[in-house]
Amino acid sequence: MVHCPIFLKKEQGISITELLIVVAFLAVMTVLLLVYLNPGAQLGKARDARRKSDLSKLKNVLEDYYNDKKCYPSGLGDLVSDYIGQVPTDPLTKDDYAYSRSDCDTYRIYVELDYEKDPAIAEVGCQGGCGPGCVYNYGVCSSNVGLEACTPEGCAGELWGCQGTGVGPIECNRFDTCVNPGAPLYCNDPSCGGGCTVDKICSP
């Protein structure tokens, strides 16, 4: 009887070179994933969604307050208890939202969104800044006024704004100044930010 020799294969571990290749691959994939997902930008967008939701909620509460008292409050703190449990604050800074009331019938609330390319900024006409010091880029206001939009900074060319006479369409025309601070001016943009609507009207 012939016995065949049995050869045992020696088990081998992972070499240092293979381990380094795997680690390098994982590092590259992690960096690419972080660049693609951009968690900082995603967090900023989440905060912006909260800010918009807060301002929308405040707008509704302010209308309830006005319907009852025939005057908007002098400050958002006046809403507490009867109309809202707690006034929302900025999710990042925890500061109060910038509220202003010029008279009983008008108010404006401003905030600065993190994501500067948010289409909502152009929709409210705050591309060049809004509100006190032009430091805000989004806001809500009573229906009888607009946000206080600022002239685009550093505009060396033509300024354009929407003009309506009440007869015919609203047109985008060149302006030297905008008398109505609630409507935006656009720098070198004869389309006035993609088209004119009632809330974009300036008076020459």
The CATH number that applies at residue 128 is: 3.30.700
27: left (phi over 0), alpha (psi -120 to 50) or beta: alpha
End residue of a domain, out of 99, 114, 141? 141
User: pLDDT, tens digit, for every residue of 140-177?
Assistant: 999 888 888 776 555 656 677 887 766 777 888 776 55
> Rounded mean pLDDT of the chain?
81
Q: In the structure encoding, which two tokens stand for residue 69, read together?
A: 């008292």
Q: Is the whole-model pTM more than 0.75?
A: no
Distances from the Cα of 31 to the Cαs of 10, 21, 34, 37, 41, in angstroms? 37, 15, 5, 10, 15
Q: Please check whether residues 61 and 108 belong to one and the same domain.
A: yes
Q: Please check whether residues 115 and 172 belong to one and the same domain.
A: no
Give the pLDDT confidence score for residue 38 in this predicted structure.
67
Q: Please check whether residues 130 and 175 belong to one and the same domain.
A: no
Q: In the structure encoding, which two tokens stand for residue 155, read together?
A: 């505009």
d(CA 45, CA 47): 5
Q: Please check whether residues 80 and 133 belong to one and the same domain.
A: yes
Question: Domain residues for 81?
Answer: 49-141
d(CA 182, CA 107): 12
Other beta carbons less than 10 A from residue 76's beta carbon: 22
User: Could you say which DSSP state residue 57 is in?
Assistant: H
